[in-house]
């Protein structure tokens, strides 16, 4: 008996072999502003001064005043946000992390009747594979430190909603109990939906997800009693009809006082039976189809929100695999946040949380690893005329990923050179040599955390002319990423050098599946076998027409700007099977006849300051059934100036980014 009295309470602990031992710390990671998106130019005045007037020095402070869409790993993004003062600042976090080890993270698109598959990028592919490499262990390894950071980011009265499927939800709940404390577990919401189901000989069909709600502490913001509309077919056996055609049902008098009965009788809501008993009338609302509309108190089973494929608002469907209906997020945001609160989604996918937050006048932060998700989200926000927002990159993400996999930069450069068929010159320069048709090429592999700049390309080209005592006629640059306006800046540099630069420069992208090849390339024989399979894609080429200008009255000028040409030298889609090769050929023909079909989004900064691209005009392809070929010309009426620099950014359906600047 005595031993039982001293037994420990709540001593259960969650353990797995690879469980992270330490919580991640904030890191001084830079966010690079890729674009300030201004869907409605009339709202440009809402921009903080450093973005509006080109005043520098307060950018980090001003970023906190803006909605932010971040491309990159959410672990690094959250560490950076904590380092920049966001601890305890986010009122509501909703996440819908990937929870299917067999999920297809590719994205299907249809162009002019031709369907093709956009494969995940290098980083997406690596992250998704690593998430499930060790089964449930590695999934929890991914989620555990991220949930620790989310708790720190939450305000004291904030809530976390985690959307998860039936087969891992029980593991995740125990993780959340450990991080947030069992006392702060508030709800397990069951979202039940209809839809097609696969027959199973061993189990019932699964027709629900669960949403786990945890608070930072017991005083979390909550909307209290909430009601929803429930439509039911009008069963005339259950209802009666009065002289005015209204349907009603009755309940016994019960505890109604005599005074209450008199008041209800005056309202026509008392029914006296033939035996003299009093019953109370309850009128019901009906729609045009004859359904009864009842307002029911919301509980923790939600069966009134259809999945996206069946919802009446299926027009919102973007074709994104894991997209959730806006009605679901609207309910969550209304329940656990107020207007002007800050809402975050660190697995933002197609951007539903952000689009709903914008609609409900909440501030927001979104983070997504996939470029397709960023593109889909940007289009949705532009379409709904959102307030100005930032699109940001995490500057050193690729380098972090290489270090996390135990690699070293120079080793990675050597392997890529060999996969390209080149012989490394030395250990640290990233340079190699390849001979093609009696021409010796100098090959350069860029650093994974540094975009290739036109200045770097020029330096390499000048070096190539003299290197090894004989020089090289061709320089091939293999880059992870390239600076904005790379092609035009390079052409300007080559033009300035005139006869001094005689080296041909080719710029190519390191392919998305390079990590797969790096992992397989263990021996020289492996490298030789894999080299034939690796494709290094040439950078896209953008050419603009000269602007057309027309003077107007009152000191205004009308400027018309048009894309002359957008060329993809090689379309990065798989073409190993006969069908894939046919699709590839069809796309190449389409692109040759009409380059606009390849453009997902393009934008114009009509007064580029040379530092931050602020898009005041946008055209986008759209998603799902709304997809359409973009126009290739933009027209704007502006104040007349002596000199103006116009910047253009084009993003194609594969996520390639090209830019140009034009002096007017």
d(C-alpha 78, C-alpha 24), whole Å: 10
Tell me the C-alpha distance between 330 and 352, whole Å: 9
Place of tokens 């009693």: 225
Q: Facing residues of 228 across strands?
A: 296
- Indicate the Cα dihedral angle 46, 51, 56, 58, nearest 10°: 50
Query: What's the distance, CA 87 to chain centroid?
Result: 22
DSSP 387-424: PPEEEEEETTHHHHHHHHTT--HHHHHHHHHHHTT-EE
Fold for domain 35-226+298-394? Answer: Rossmann fold (3.40.50)
Measure the CA–CA gap between 171 and 188, rounded to whole angstroms.
14
DSSP per-residue codes, 186-223: EEEEEEE--------SSSPPP-EEEEEEEESSTT----
Residue that the structure tokens 């190699």 belong to = 432
Determine the Cα–Cα distance for residues 369 and 121; give it in Å rounded to an integer.
9
SS3 of 82-136: HHCCCCCCEEEEEECCCCCCCCCCCEEEEECCEEEEECCCHHHHHHHHHHHCCCH
Which residue is associated with the tokens 């499930």?
132
pLDDT tens per residue across span 56-79 = 445 666 888 899 999 888 998 999
- Residues 399 and 380: their CA atoms lie apart, in Å, by 31
Comparing C-alpha atoms, which of 361, 369, 365 is closest to residue 338? 361
CB 541 within 8 A of CB 534: no
CA–CA distance, 662 with 608 (Å, rounded to integer): 9
Q: Which residues of the chain have pLDDT under 50?
A: 1, 56-57, 311-312, 397
Tell me the pLDDT tens digit for each residue of 138-182: 888 889 999 999 999 999 999 999 999 888 888 999 999 999 999
For the domain spanning 540-664, the CATH number is 2.60.40
Which residues are registered as beta bridge partners of 294? 230
Three-class secondary structure assignment of 533-582 = CCCCEECCEEEECCCEEEECCCCEEEEEEEEEEEECCCCCCCCCCHHHHH
Q: Are 342 and 89 in contact, with CB atoms under 8 Å apart?
A: yes
Q: Quick one: residue 540, left, alpha or beta (phi over 0 = left, psi -120 to 50 = alpha)?
A: beta
Residue 111: strand pairing partners: 114
Q: How many whole angstroms separate alpha carbon 134 and alpha carbon 130?
A: 8
Give yes or no for a contact between 112 and 621, defined as CB atoms under 8 angstroms apart: no
| Whether the Cβ atoms of residue 377 and residue 367 lie closer than 8 Å to each other | no
φ and ψ at 89, to 5 degrees?
-105, -15
- Domain residue ranges in the chain: 35-226+298-394, 228-297, 408-539, 540-664
pLDDT of residue 57: 47
Question: What is the pLDDT, as a whole number, of residue 285?
Answer: 78
pTM value is 0.80
123 to 2, 391, 397: CA distances (angstroms): 58, 18, 9
- C-alpha radius of gyration, the chain, whole number: 30
The DSSP symbol for 43 reads G
Q: Which two tokens stand for residue 276?
A: 């003299």
The residues near 210 (Cβ < 8 Å, ≥ 6 apart) are 163, 164, 165, 166, 169, 188, 189, 190, 191
Which H helix or E strand runs over 52?
helix 49-52
pLDDT at 223: 74
Place of tokens 């889909």: 376
């Amino acid at each position: 008996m005595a031993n039982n009295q001293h037994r420990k309470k709540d001593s259960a602990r969650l353990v797995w072999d690879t469980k992270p031992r330490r919580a991640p710390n904030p890191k001084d990671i830079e966010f690079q502003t890729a674009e300030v998106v201004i869907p409605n130019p009339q709202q440009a005045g809402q921009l903080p001064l450093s973005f509006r007037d080109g005043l520098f020095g307060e950018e980090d402070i001003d970023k906190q005043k803006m909605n932010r869409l971040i491309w990159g790993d959410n672990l690094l993004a959250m560490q950076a946000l904590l380092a920049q003062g966001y601890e305890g600042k986010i009122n509501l976090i909703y996440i819908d992390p990937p929870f299917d080890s067999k999920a297809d993270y590719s994205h299907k698109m249809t162009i002019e009747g031709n369907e093709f598959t956009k494969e995940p990028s290098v980083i997406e592919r690596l992250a998704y594979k690593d998430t499930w490499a060790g089964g449930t262990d590695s999934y929890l390894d991914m989620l555990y430190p991220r949930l620790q950071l989310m708790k720190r980011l939450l305000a004291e009265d904030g809530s976390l909603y985690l959307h998860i499927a039936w087969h891992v939800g029980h593991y995740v709940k125990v993780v959340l109990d450990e991080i947030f404390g069992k006392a702060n577990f508030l709800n397990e919401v069951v979202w039940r939906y209809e839809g097609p189901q696969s027959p199973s000989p061993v189990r019932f069909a699964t027709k629900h997800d669960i949403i786990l709600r945890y608070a930072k502490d017991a005083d979390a913001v909550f909307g209290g009693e909430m009601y929803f509309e429930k439509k039911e077919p009008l069963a005339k056996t259950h209802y009666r009809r009065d002289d005015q055609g209204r349907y009603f049902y009755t309940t016994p008098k019960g505890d109604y006082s005599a005074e209450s009965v008199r008041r209800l009788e005056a309202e026509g809501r008392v029914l006296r039976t033939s035996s003299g008993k009093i019953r109370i009338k309850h009128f019901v609302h009906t729609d045009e189809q004859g359904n009864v509309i009842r307002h029911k108190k919301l509980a923790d089973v939600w069966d009134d929100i259809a999945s996206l494929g069946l919802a009446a608002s299926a027009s919102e469907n973007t074709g994104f695999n894991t997209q959730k209906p806006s009605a679901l997020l609207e309910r969550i945001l209304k329940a656990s946040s107020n207007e002007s609160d800050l809402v975050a989604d660190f697995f933002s996918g197609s951007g539903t949380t952000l689009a709903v937050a914008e609609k409900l006048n909440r501030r927001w932060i979104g983070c997504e690893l996939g470029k397709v998700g960023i593109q889909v989200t940007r289009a949705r926000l532009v379409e709904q005329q959102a307030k100005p927002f930032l699109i940001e990159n995490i500057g050193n993400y690729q380098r972090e990923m290489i270090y996390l996999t135990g690699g070293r930069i120079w080793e990675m450069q050597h392997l890529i050179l060999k996969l390209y068929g080149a012989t490394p010159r030395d250990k640290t320069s990233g340079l190699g040599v390849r001979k093609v048709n009696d021409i010796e090429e100098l090959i350069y592999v860029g650093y994974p955390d540094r975009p290739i700049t036109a200045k770097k390309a020029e330096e390499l080209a000048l070096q190539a002319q003299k290197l090894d005592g004989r020089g090289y006629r061709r320089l091939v640059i293999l880059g992870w990423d390239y600076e904005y306006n790379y092609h035009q800046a390079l052409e300007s540099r080559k033009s300035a050098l005139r006869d001094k630069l005689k080296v041909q420069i080719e710029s190519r992208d390191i392919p998305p599946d390079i990590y797969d090849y790096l992992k397989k390339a263990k021996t020289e024989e492996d490298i030789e076998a894999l080299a034939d399979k690796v494709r290094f894609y040439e950078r896209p080429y953008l050419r603009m027409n000269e602007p057309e200008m027309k003077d107007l009255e009152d000191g205004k000028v009308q400027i018309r700007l048009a894309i002359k040409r957008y060329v993809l030298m090689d379309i990065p889609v798989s073409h190993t099977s006969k069908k894939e090769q046919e699709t590839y050929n069809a796309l190449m023909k389409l692109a040759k006849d009409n380059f606009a079909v390849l453009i997902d989004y393009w934008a114009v900064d009509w007064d580029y300051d040379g530092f931050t691209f602020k898009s005041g005009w946008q055209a986008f392809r759209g998603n799902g059934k709304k997809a359409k070929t973009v126009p290739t010309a933009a027209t704007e009426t502006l104040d007349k100036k002596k000199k103006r620099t116009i910047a253009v950014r084009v993003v194609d359906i594969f996520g390639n980014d090209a830019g140009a600047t034009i002096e007017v």
